[in-house]
Amino acid sequence: MNIPAKDDGAGKARVFFALWPEPALRRQLHALALHYQGACGGSVMRAETLHLTLLFLGEVSQENIRKLQQQVDALEMAPFSIHLAHIACWRHNRIAYAAPEGETAPLQTLSQALRVLTDTIGVEFDRRDFTPHVTLLRKVTQAFESQPIELPEWKVETFSLVKSSTLNGRASYRTLKTWRCT
């Protein structure tokens, strides 16, 4: 019997909506992670994997991924900016992350709009409150208090639906579709 792999055309894929920083900001975030690694241990996320999750969906069928993409095609979102202003740790999952401060209303609006669209097609998702962050390090061994960071403004002009796979214990991400904020 031919059983399709989870992520082939016929099966389900593990997906999430995310913002992906431009390469220059990714490099700066990666450098920050390397800088803090000396103090907090853990493993640094590769620069190309750095992102901010808007909504994590988990396993979704190809049919629902198609429906979801159609729904999001009709979404109108203006470009906006994020100011990643501090780095901190969560002890419960041992990650160090960069997070925005101040005005995050457009970010909340986008995340909420994606929740509503996902709900309309009946796809289940992680309903925990949206806490915007960019994970920089995992398996941190020494947590530290929140500290301010200096980064340029993140001008958000696109958002994406991304497929996550694990190969040899290493997460890899593939963009399924990107939408432009206009």
> What residues make contact with ligand 2AM under the rule CB under 6 A?
16, 53, 56, 95, 126, 135, 164
Q: How many Å from the N-terminal Cα to the C-terminal Cα in the chain?
A: 47
CB of 56 to ligand 2AM, least distance (A): 3
Q: d(Cα 99, Cα 138) in Å, to the nearest integer?
A: 15
- Backbone torsion region of residue 38, taken as left when φ is above 0, otherwise alpha when ψ lies between -120 and 50, otherwise beta: alpha
- Smaller CB separation from ligand 2AM, 15 or 117: 15
CB of 51 to ligand 2AM, least distance (A): 6
- Smaller CB separation from ligand 2AM, 103 or 126: 126
- Smaller CB separation from ligand 2AM, 53 or 64: 53
User: Which H helix or E strand runs over 156?
Assistant: strand 154-156
CB of 130 to ligand 2AM, least distance (A): 10
CB of 119 to ligand 2AM, least distance (A): 17
- Smaller CB separation from ligand 2AM, 119 or 126: 126
Question: Tokens standing for 129?
Answer: 């409150």
Q: d(Cα 154, Cα 81) in Å, to the nearest integer?
A: 5
Q: Is 149 exposed, middle or buried (0-12, 13-18, 19+ CB in 10 A)?
A: middle
